A = this chain, B = another copy of it.
């Protein structure tokens, strides 16, 4: 991948090779024909967690020809084969963020299956948590192959959510500002991040979040890369910014700690990742890891 002259390592959850075939979503006859055609595959899930076979591949349940009343989402076509995911009937009461056991499973999936699982999980989770019309409270009905819900009562239309999040590397004279949340594993630090709010640009969200969390004023915000993050459904928008100075006023209600790291410390954490480095870098599935690699390479080229 090449963005703005910088080579980026592959971004997890983004290698989606599926043909989304969106024109089929709006064609009930073709949807029904696909469902009954004898080739449709259904993604196996344990709740919303992936199910892997002995070769660390996603498990697909045998071709299904009768979904009955089960809510399902048409994910798209893979080599002409229609792929579906069922909406968990009882919903999912667990927190939507990434659970520890799932970390291990997703780290074993291939890039394209990880992307496939991520998209399917986001959609199944959205339906499970949005069975009622937010406008009038009546039960809503899945439509358009699972890419919409309609309210039969007030006629409102509802669409799957994608929540944009700004995640940013903040740099000052060759050093990088990273922070850690209270729920992070020991010694882990990562890029600061926060939801983009109504009424602000990406660049404004970066500046606001950094100031709120660590009291640092920034300038020259630039976009680096993005990633779909399916826990539950964020669009991670990776940015870079320069800090005006290094004085930190940490908001402990938002983060547990924040520190400046030298280029050498960041390189050691990313490349060795072991217990000897001064901190633990985020896992390679996180765009924060990609951003750190991008930064090290940029610095290495003297492009800062």
Q: Which residues of A contact B (CB under 8 A)?
A: 2-4, 11, 13-14, 16, 20, 22-23, 26, 91, 115, 118-120, 122-123, 126, 129-139, 147, 156, 158-164, 195-204, 208, 212, 220, 222-223, 225-228, 230, 233, 235, 237, 251, 253
Contact = CB atoms under 8 A, between A and B. Distances in A.
13 contacts: A3-B203, A14-B204, A16-B204, A26-B253, A129-B156, A147-B197, A160-B197, A161-B198, A162-B164, A162-B197, A164-B235, A198-B233, A200-B228
A201 B226 contact: yes
A133 B196 CA distance: 22
A78 to B, nearest CB: 14
A3 B197 contact: no
Contact of A130 (B119, B120, B134, B227): B134
B123 A198 contact: yes
A259 to B, nearest CB: 22
Contacts of A164: 162, 164, 235
A166 B251 CA distance: 33
B156 A212 contact: no
B199 A13 contact: yes
Nearest to A3: B222
Contacts of A222: 3-4
A253 B27 CA distance: 12
Given A20-B208, A138-B137, A208-B20, A230 B199 contact: yes
A198 B228 contact: yes
A161 B160 contact: no
B202 A226 contact: yes
Contacts of A195: 159, 162
Given A131-B135, A132-B133, A223-B223, 11 more contacts: A13-B199, A14-B204, A16-B204, A119-B198, A123-B198, A130-B134, A132-B132, A137-B139, A161-B161, A164-B235, A201-B235
